[in-house]
Amino acid sequence: MSEAGAITLVLDLPPPANKRLVPVRTRTGATLVRRTKTADWITAARWTVMNQCGGRCIPYRFAALIVLPETEADIDSRIKDILDACQAGGAVANDKGCRSLRVEIDPGRVGTALVELTPTAEIPPPARARRTRGNARTRNTMETTT
């Protein structure tokens, strides 16, 4: 059961990590390029999130529950892609605001991931201290000479 303010999404599973990039030979060596399947998943996931969240966005900190099907692929690489898709689609302002992550495996689920994002605080992250310009020694020297 989702809490007030929670966003629930159903996403297709991202491709496994070892099938995302392909090396392509260049004149200066080689470079890694996204496979078409990976690029297509990124685009589709972004649009799916945008459509399912209905313009709602969690601006700060949140907890994430991700329910995955039982597969032979590592779940950790899929989690990163799912959270990245939530950010790209606008469900969360920044995926670094995830303060709690719970992953469950559901043997009955096939081909999709259930994602529930719940705001944990409406308080913005603390502001960073502003750095002063110049060197403290220079400022002190200038003050003592005048």
**What pLDDT is attached to residue 25?**
86
Under CATH, what is the fold of the domain 7-145? 60s Ribosomal Protein L30; Chain: A; (3.30.1330)
For 98-107, how does the pLDDT look when each residue is reduced to its tens digit (9 = 90+)? Answer: 999 999 999 9
Structure confidence at residue 65 (pLDDT): 97
Domain layout of the chain by residue ranges: 7-145
Distance from the Cα of residue 74 to its chain's centroid: 17
Is 96 within 8 Å of 59 (Cβ atoms)?
Answer: no
The pair phi, psi for residue 84, each rounded to 5°, is: -65, -40
pTM above 0.85, yes or no: no
